[in-house]
Amino acid sequence: PSSAEPESDATDGVTAGALPAVPRLSVIVPTFNERGNVERMLVGIDGALKGVPYEVIFVDDDSPDGTADTVRQIGERDPRVRCIRRIGRRGLAGACIEGMLAAQAPLVAVIDGDLQHDVNVLRTMLDRSPDADLVVASRYVDGGSADGLNRRRGAMSRTATGMARRILGIKTSDPMSGCFLIRRALVERLAPALSPNGFKILLDIMTASKEPMRVVEVPMAFAARDEGDSKLDSRTMLDFVTLLIFKVSGGTISPRFVWFSAVGGAGLVLHLLMLKGGLLVGLGFAVAQSIATIGAMTSNFAMNNVFTYRDRRVSGLAMLPALLKFYLICGAGAVANVGVASWVFEGGWRWWLAGVAGSVIGAVWNFAMTSLFVWGPS
């Protein structure tokens, strides 16, 4: 071995100068299918941060397009670049949190990996960091713009921003921004209270902090995307509403519970429609109620799997045992359901009241047991 190479356990011979500088800034780039943007991102970041020791951490949710491999290949040449690859998990907020917690530098910045955020904002944010705990790159201050959003998205963004500011009392002009810089120590303190679901990481950070934060805003132009596709969909908007409910209720009504209730509500409507239909075609009450119960049960399984437990969704062949377990658990609930409903109906109450009473008994049982045995404990 050449004399420049250190022994594995020897530190002499290694000069500090031979090691890469300790980063002052860690740049976190969440990615999902952004292979075509990785190289351009890194060139842009390097240009924006001339003279600043930095590292870049991509957090990739096992993108099918091989984003993680592309990052790793670059990391072989440039040790400042690395990739956290997550398997079996999806979510922008969670990816940002994991990236920030893995950072080495005292300051961390989060920026989209699709070049819609102007990378030069990294420099602007860093320049403002000495007098701030959090620097927000805002599209809604002088010099910023949201031109990259289409009409529908622009309207969605403004509505959500208005709601966040009014309902949660957030002062920032752009709590939905996906680009910001923050002290790592602060993230570390807040992390246990942050929710990994959804897109709204900045909003979450700003409402999680009990102590006042020094927040500074810098303008950012949000550009149109020219490579790849946006992953933000209407579900994102619904996630935002559940996050609002969670925050407004002081953390008691969990997003999952909101989803479960919504699915239950939809199932109940379906149930009543089927019950009424059964009665209309002349079925006996218990028979109609049984059919309505099985129908609602099946639809509840499907909807909970897609919405409530999206992050733990069962798919493919695993759906069969899950569905069977669901039926088994709900079977017991259904017996109680039909029993209670028939009893109420025979007591002279209206058909729909009887249907509701039976369904409520079934729903409570379903939630408790299926959250334990079908989708696993949270």
Tell me the CA distances in angstroms from 181 to 27, 219, 235, one per residue in order. Answer: 9, 13, 27
118 lies in the binding site for Mn ion (CB under 5 A): no
Torsion of CA 109, 111, 113, 115, to 10 degrees: -130
State in angstroms the smallest separation of the CB of 92 from ligand GDD. Answer: 4
CB of 299 to ligand GDD, least distance (A): 27
| Number of residues this chain uses to bind Mn ion (CB under 5 A) | 2
Find the residue with minimal CB distance to ligand GDD: 178
Orientation angle between helical segments 319-346 and 351-373, nearest 10 degrees:
150
Point out which span in 65-73, 111-119, 150-158, 279-287 binds Mn ion (CB under 5 A): 111-119
CB of 85 to ligand GDD, least distance (A): 9
- Give, as one character, the DSSP assignment of residue 131: G
Contacted by 367, from Mn ion, ligand GDD, none: CB < 5 to 8 Å by type: none
**Phi, psi angle pair for 201, to nearest 5°:** -65, -40
Sequence-separated (6 or more) residues with CB below 8 Å from residue 188: 101
- CA distance linking residue 91 with residue 239, whole number of Å: 11
Would you call 83 helix, strand, or coil by DSSP?
strand
- In this structure, how many other beta carbons lie within 10 angstroms of the beta carbon of residue 376? 10
Q: Measured from the CB atom, is 226 or 346 closer to ligand GDD?
A: 226
Picked from ligand GDD, Mn ion, none, the partner binding residue 308 (CB below 5 to 8 A depending on kind) is: none
What kind and span of H or E run contains 159?
A: helix 151-168
Q: Which does 30 bind (CB under 5 to 8 A by kind): Mn ion, ligand GDD, none?
A: ligand GDD
- Choose one: 43-51, 112-120, 326-334, 340-348; the region binding Mn ion (CB under 5 A): 112-120
Length of the chain: 378
User: Minimum distance between the CB of residue 232 and ligand GDD, rounded to whole angstroms?
Assistant: 3
Residue 77, token pair as written in the block: 């040449």
Site residues, ligand GDD (CB under 6 A):
30-32, 34, 59-61, 90-92, 95, 112-114, 116, 157, 176, 178, 199, 230-232
Q: How far is the CB of 140 from ligand GDD (least distance, A)?
A: 11
In this chain, which of 55, 114, 174, 204 binds Mn ion, going by CB under 5 A? 114
Tokens 């959003």, located at residue: 149
CB of 56 to Mn ion, least distance (A): 18
DSSP secondary structure code for residue 377 in this structure: -
What would the two tokens of residue 351 be? 């058909």
- Closest distance to ligand GDD from the beta carbon of 113 (Å): 3
Nearer to ligand GDD, 114 or 239 (CB): 114
Given ligand GDD, Mn ion, none, residue 264, with its beta carbon under 5 to 8 Å by kind, binds none
Q: Which of 298, 308, 236 is nearest to 267 (CA)?
A: 298
The residues binding Mn ion (CB under 5 A) are 114, 116
